[in-house]
Chain A
Amino acid sequence: MNGTRLVAPWPRSLRAQLRVELLLLLRQPENLLVILVLPILLLALFAGARIFPAGAGRPADFLIPGVITVALMSTGMVTLGISTAYQRYYRVLKRLGGSPLPTFVLVLAKAGAVLLVEIGQVALLLVIGRLFFGWSGAVLGAIPLMLLGSVCFAGLGLTLAGALRAELTLGGANGLYLLFLVVGGVVLPIDHLPSWLQPVAGALPPALLSSSLRAALGSSAIAGSTVLLLAVWTVALAAAASLLFRWE
């Protein structure tokens, strides 16, 4: 007998799955800390720091693209990566593989939940930047870059989850997050780093995204090579994530 007629129409399962994925992202206090509190805290703390060269515009002009990058790392790399690894550990993915939920619906639901959270994060950071730190900039032009960065970090998180056990994914994602906060050009300009480290740091996704976002939001010319390299990272990480993905 053909069982496919027993299965709900996919929009219905997508709606239910999306709701649950969103709930799971936002229900854990540790997720809220890394998704919401940390980026805002970084913005507030570093806006008053005296590390930016005088006459190079407001600190917010440097920081807003930086904390948007941090926000996308928080959701895509840390939260999505760790939650996926633990869903495998708790055999949730195995059980879903034994249900009629189509794989594409699960992927769409996870992507949708991450995207909705990120839209909220970016909107909140922009509003806070404008209200409290006198920031202004060209948001629309930066949206494609934010999407690219979002896929890139989600790919990185899922690559970690696919390659490592749950506990190691937890440690690895948090470790990379800390590292990227320092070398990502997000709150600390890259030229403050030791000179030998600068070319390496500049070629990693966080610096590529934060510097091109800075150009886009500030309406100045975006370096084509930066975006190209970010795109290469994104394609490579997305491919690695899908190759390494395991249901159990």
Chain B
Amino acid sequence: MSPNPVVSLQGVTKSYGPKRGVMDLDLEVGEGELLAVLGPNGAGKTTSVEIMEGYRRPDRGTVRVLGLDPVRDRRRCIPQLGIMLQEGGVYPSLSVGEAVRLFAAYFRNPVPPGELLELVGLSDRERSRYRTLSGGERQRLSLALALVGRPRLLFLDEPTAGMDPRARLLTWEAVREQRRRGVTVLLTTHSMEEAERLADRVAIINQGRLVALDTPSALIGAGGGGVVELETIEALSAEGRARLSALASVERSREVAPGRYLLRTATPPQALVEIASLLRDEGPPVLRLQVGGGSLEEVFLELTGGTD
């Protein structure tokens, strides 16, 4: 990738017991790129981010952030990072304005507090105590605190979790604005929509491993192969699922929920025909059968969800 990646992980492993942590993670984030890390709960998203932020030292592997070791060179690294934790991080009895002014005092050349509150849409809440804010307002204050030092690299851990749609749009716009200014952004999310709308590239993590890394459109599978989505009125029997997987055009199939199936194929049109004829002869009525060309959600579910 780029000659001087802003973030580079090589063979990074960190385990907390058998099923937690990350395994052999290789990842690079280029200057000015917005990378979304997508994965279900407990997949290792926060662990990965906290390793890059220097909160955790990996058991194995190399971590470079802005060319530095984020644990050993913490004093030189941290001032260039903007960190938004998944939750908390602010004294509950401080007001919004007091919290922003406090963090501004840590930097030589901070963004003026008024401008910052404008950016995250909290100007009218300046005098409110943190404990009186809604979940979405707390997240936006946390974003403001991450931005106050004009970071080169921004870490956002589930920045829009629990936000109403309006706050989410506002936050997306604030993140895009950082991206336009050339800030490198790494964000974690559950939301496919968020990843699709914001990210230059998407990394999908499942059970601590990187299972896909590409642009949203490449992952959705523009062109040849793709994902076919099938919904039936009731779940297929085990035998029915086996016959589905055995179809010539189907490479892999997964039941992501009872009655909902994702099938990977190199030839979507042929797969549609084969599936339709299989289910015409036997099995429950079909609610939906389509080529999943439109949504990252399907890719995500295909890679991380359900059982075969």
Residues of A bordering B, CB below 8 Å: 1-9, 12-13, 15-17, 20, 23-24, 27-28, 87, 90-92, 94-95, 97-102, 248
74-108 of chain B: CB within 8 A of chain A: 75-81, 83, 85, 87-94, 98, 101-103, 105-108
CA distance A87 to B91 in the complex (A): 7
B67 x A1 contact (CB < 8 A):
yes
Given known A3-B78, A17-B102, contact A94–B109 (CB-CB < 8 A): no
- CB-contact partner of B89 in A8, A28, A90, under 8 A: A90
- CB-contact partner of B92 in A4, A9, A20, A90, under 8 A: A90
Residue in chain B with minimal CB distance to A20: B102
A98 x B80 contact (CB < 8 A):
no
A94 x B89 contact (CB < 8 A):
yes
Chain B's interface: helix, strand, loop or mixed, by majority?
A: loop
B55 x A6 contact (CB < 8 A):
no
Residue in chain B with minimal CB distance to A97: B55
Asked if B145 is at the interface of the complex by the 8 Å CB criterion, the answer is: yes
A100 x B149 contact (CB < 8 A):
yes
Residue in chain A with minimal CB distance to B86: A91
Contacts of B55 in A (CB 8 A): 94, 97-98, 248
CA distance A24 to B67 in the complex (A): 38
Residue in chain A with minimal CB distance to B155: A98
Query: What would 16 A/B residue contacts be, using CB atoms closer than 8 Å?
Result: A1-B67, A1-B76, A2-B76, A3-B66, A3-B76, A3-B77, A6-B109, A15-B105, A16-B101, A20-B91, A20-B98, A90-B89, A95-B145, A98-B54, A99-B78, A102-B75
B89 x A95 contact (CB < 8 A):
yes
B80 x A5 contact (CB < 8 A):
no
Residue in chain A with minimal CB distance to B130: A90
CA distance A151 to B53 in the complex (A): 34
Residue in chain A with minimal CB distance to B89: A95
Report the minimal beta-carbon distance from B51 to chain A, rounded to whole angstroms: 13
A5 x B105 contact (CB < 8 A):
no
Given known A7-B107, A12-B105, contact A98–B53 (CB-CB < 8 A): yes
- CB-contact partner of B94 in A6, A12, A20, A248, under 8 A: A20
Residue in chain A with minimal CB distance to B99: A20
Q: B126-154, CB under 8 A of A: which get 1 and which 0?
A: 00000000000000000001000110100
B107 x A6 contact (CB < 8 A):
yes
CA distance A92 to B130 in the complex (A): 12
- CB-contact partner of B80 in A3, A17, A248, under 8 A: A3
- CB-contact partner of B88 in A1, A8, A12, A92, under 8 A: A92
CA distance A4 to B105 in the complex (A): 14
**Most interface-central of B81, B107, B109 (chain A CB within 10 A):** B107
Residue in chain A with minimal CB distance to B87: A91
Known: A16-B106, A92-B90. 13 other contacts (CB 8 A): A4-B79, A6-B107, A7-B107, A8-B107, A20-B102, A87-B91, A94-B85, A97-B55, A98-B53, A99-B106, A99-B149, A100-B149, A102-B75
Which 9 residue pairs are nearest across A and B when measured between Cβ atoms?
Answer: A16-B105, A95-B89, A3-B79, A91-B88, A6-B79, A3-B80, A98-B83, A100-B79, A90-B88
B81 x A8 contact (CB < 8 A):
no
Report the minimal beta-carbon distance from A41 to chain B, rounded to whole angstroms: 24
Report the minimal beta-carbon distance from B73 to chain A, rounded to whole angstroms: 9
Report the minimal beta-carbon distance from B202 to chain A, rounded to whole angstroms: 25
Given known A6-B80, A20-B98, contact A95–B106 (CB-CB < 8 A): no
B145 x A6 contact (CB < 8 A):
no
CA distance A91 to B77 in the complex (A): 21
CA distance A23 to B95 in the complex (A): 11
CA distance A23 to B92 in the complex (A): 12
- CB-contact partner of A8 in B83, B85, B108, B145, under 8 A: B108
Report the minimal beta-carbon distance from B106 to chain A, rounded to whole angstroms: 5
Report the minimal beta-carbon distance from B171 to chain A, rounded to whole angstroms: 18
CA distance A13 to B55 in the complex (A): 22
Contacts of A99 in B (CB 8 A): 78, 83, 103, 106, 149
A1 x B80 contact (CB < 8 A):
yes
Given known A95-B90, A98-B83, A100-B78, contact A5–B108 (CB-CB < 8 A): yes
Contacts of A92 in B (CB 8 A): 88-91
Residue in chain B with minimal CB distance to A89: B88
CA distance A97 to B93 in the complex (A): 19
Contacts of A4 in B (CB 8 A): 75-76, 79
